[in-house]
Chains A and B, each alone.
Chain A
Amino acid sequence: MTGVRVRGLTRRFGTRAVLDRLDLTLAPGSFTALLGRSGSGKTTLLRTLAGLDAVTEGALVEVPRPTTVVFQEPRLLPWAKVWQNVALGLAGDDARARASAALSEVGLGRHLDAWPLTLSGGEAQRVALARALVRAPRLLLLDEPFAALDALTRIRMHALVLELWRAHGPAVLLVTHDVDEAISLADRVLVLDAGRIAVDVEIDLPRPRDAANPTRAGLRRHFLETLGVKDLVA
């Protein structure tokens, strides 16, 4: 079992280095949240791990296979039925059966033959989750997957993601700008700043994590300070 290993990753857009000799290690099966201000390079790092951004300048990037992604938008093919979207790129005759099993896990077992455009935002995002899970990933990248959902749907999605993580045990890297979401879900929280991992904190609290827990409140304040919003929040 290998996790993620990144050494000396630099990524420039023009002359600005978005990622600057970044090092990162993720243990197999760990749940990590990556925080950062907008433009801090969170998404660039995730895209590099997903293989969507070319690695240059001699960096070492080791990622387990298969690696799958859930994006901020569901990104379903509107012309393919729900199960076909989940089975996209799967080989073999049992593609539909596997898609069906994955959809049942996210609670959409009855929507196999629905068209994506008839789904609600939350349902579509669950299909995207099923599509990522059906490949039995060893690394699951979540790129702000709950940002576009309403608050209630988001809470349900948090529970679902934790449940699926426990059941399948992939390493999860959740990119988010929501400090509370990071603390609720992850065992380890990273803050990306100036192209490097500036903060790296293990969160050793039992789940579900009570918002009133004093340790949690302290963590929240700490992360918000590193994100530069110290003076703005009471």
Chain B
Amino acid sequence: MSQSIALAAPDVPVRRSWQIPLRLRRLISPLVLVLAWEAASHLGVISPRTIAAPSVIMASAWDLTVTGELPENLLVSLARVAVGFAIGVSAGIVLAVLSGLSRLGEEILDAPLQMLRTLPFLALVPLFILWFGIGELPKVALVTLGAMFPVYLNLFAGIRGVDPKLIETAQVFGLSRLALIRRVILPGALPQLLVGLRYALGVSWLSLVVAEQINASAGIGHLINDARDFLRTDVIVVGLMVYALLGLGADALVRALEQRTLRWRPSLVSGARA
């Protein structure tokens, strides 16, 4: 069958010239939408109070970048997420390892954590303001809490899901408990931890957005709130775009980490037979 195709190929008329690669073709409909939006804005169909024109938004983005307003606020937001995420992930890992590896740890830790998990943590904002005031602390705390649970739940499940046959084998070959954890249990739970990390990143951005709605004097959320007061829909959209790009970047980071740490998986080592 492949042979007949190969033979027929030269006879095919030269229609390829106008064929656009799939990746570019997929860009056509969004591009058309943006152009329609631009046109509608100029014709007065969409008022700038509803949403600014794409060209205006891009110009604002440029202005905000050049004046340093966007980079400064971006750094503040990034710092909040970074600190909150780091603390939350660390706490989640420590708690999951403790309750994943020991029956006692599970009995002590798992029940309260499962109870807290069912709480919609964003609803804790009022309480956090009372506890931590309106500075950086409640914002970071909210991100921490948001990042902790996905990591805890996934890593705990990952540890408990490690093939008991592999654990048994490691015991036959005389691995110490520490070596067993380091060489067998943690690598075995790693894919699940990465799922948790990815999820935690998503929740972290969400927490940041919510946290920055409350009395922020800096950060992307502050930029957006400020713009709202001045009816600057262009700046609001710039802020939203930044949020989206940050989320996308963070996801790419975790995926790169996955590629590196899970390179033993068959889908990633196809054809890499040594």
A114: interface (CB < 8 Å): yes
Q: Is A52 positioned at the interface, with any CB of B under 8 Å from its CB? A: yes
B170 part of interface (Cβ distance < 8 Å) = yes
| Least distance between B163 CB and chain A CB atoms (Å) | 8
Which listed residue (A66, A78, A135) contacts B264, Cβ 8 A?
Answer: A78
Residues of B within 8 Å of A101, CB to CB, are none
Q: Out of A50, A111, A131, name the residue touching B274 (CB < 8 Å).
A: A111
Contact between chains at A77 and B184 (CB < 8 Å): yes
* A205 to B126 Cα, complex, angstroms: 85
Could you tell me if B274 and A117 are in contact, using CB atoms closer than 8 angstroms?
A: no
Given contacts A71-B165, A77-B184, contact A52 B171 (CB under 8 A): yes
CA distance A47 to B60 in the complex (A): 72
Closest CB in chain B relative to A202 CB, distance in Å: 29
Contact between chains at B269 and A115 (CB < 8 Å): yes
Distance in Å: Cβ of B97 to nearest Cβ of chain A = 18
User: Counting CB contacts under 8 A, is A34 at the interface?
Assistant: no
Taking A73-B165, A77-B183 as contacts, is the C-beta distance between A68 and B274 under 8 angstroms?
A: no
Q: A68 and B264 in contact (CB under 8 A), knowing A80-B183, A114-B274? A: no
> Which of B45-53, B71-79, B173-181 touches A?
B173-181
How far does the alpha carbon of A190 sit from the alpha carbon of B205 in the complex, in Å? 66
B168 engages A52 (CB within 8 Å): yes
In the complex, chain A residues whose CB is within 8 Å of the CB of B169: 69, 71, 75
B173 touches A89 (CB 8 A): yes
Q: In this complex, what residue of A is CB-closest to B267?
A: A117
Pair B174/A110 contact, Cβ less than 8 Å: no
Please tell me the size bucket of the interface on B: 20 to 34
Contact A110 B274 (CB under 8 A): yes
Closest Cβ of chain A: how far from B174's Cβ, in Å?
5
| Chain B residues within an 8 Å CB radius of A200 | none
- The answer for the CA separation of A75 and B173 in the assembled complex, in Å, is 12
Residue B8 is within 8 A (CB to CB) of chain A in the complex: no
A79 at the interface (CB under 8 A from B): yes
Are B174 and A117 touching (Cβ within 8 A)? no
- A183 at interface (Cβ–Cβ under 8 A)? no
Instruction: Give the shortest distance, in Å, between A61 (CB) and chain B (any CB).
Output: 15
* Binary interface encoding of chain A residues 50-71 relative to chain B, with 1 for a CB under 8 A from any of its CBs, else 0: 1110000000000000101101
**B256 contacts the other chain (CB 8 A):** no
Q: Is the CB of B266 within 8 A of A75?
A: no
Is A88 among interface residues, defined by CB-CB distance under 8 A?
Answer: yes
Which A residues are CB-close (under 8 A) to B183?
77, 80, 88
Q: Which residues of A contact B265 (CB under 8 A)?
A: 78, 117
Q: CB-CB < 8 A to A73: which residues of B?
A: 165
Contacts of A131 in B (CB 8 A): 173
CB distance from B263 to the nearest CB of A (A): 8
Nearest-Cβ distance from residue B265 to partner chain A, whole angstroms: 7
Q: Are A79's CB and B272's CB within 8 A? A: no
CB distance from B215 to the nearest CB of A (A): 46
Q: Is A99 an interface residue (CB 8 A)?
A: no
Indicate if A224 sits at the interface (CB-CB under 8 A).
Answer: no
**Cβ of A112: which chain B residues have Cβ within 8 Å of it?**
274
Q: Is A210 an interface residue (CB 8 A)?
A: no
* With A79-B264, A89-B175 as contacts: A118 and B269 at CB distance below 8 Å: yes
* 8 extra A-B contacts, CB within 8 A, seeds A52-B172, A117-B265: A51-B171, A75-B166, A80-B187, A88-B183, A112-B274, A114-B273, A116-B264, A117-B264
- Closest 10 pairs between A and B when the two form their complex, measured CB to CB: A114-B274, A79-B187, A75-B169, A89-B173, A115-B264, A118-B273, A117-B266, A89-B175, A79-B264, A89-B174
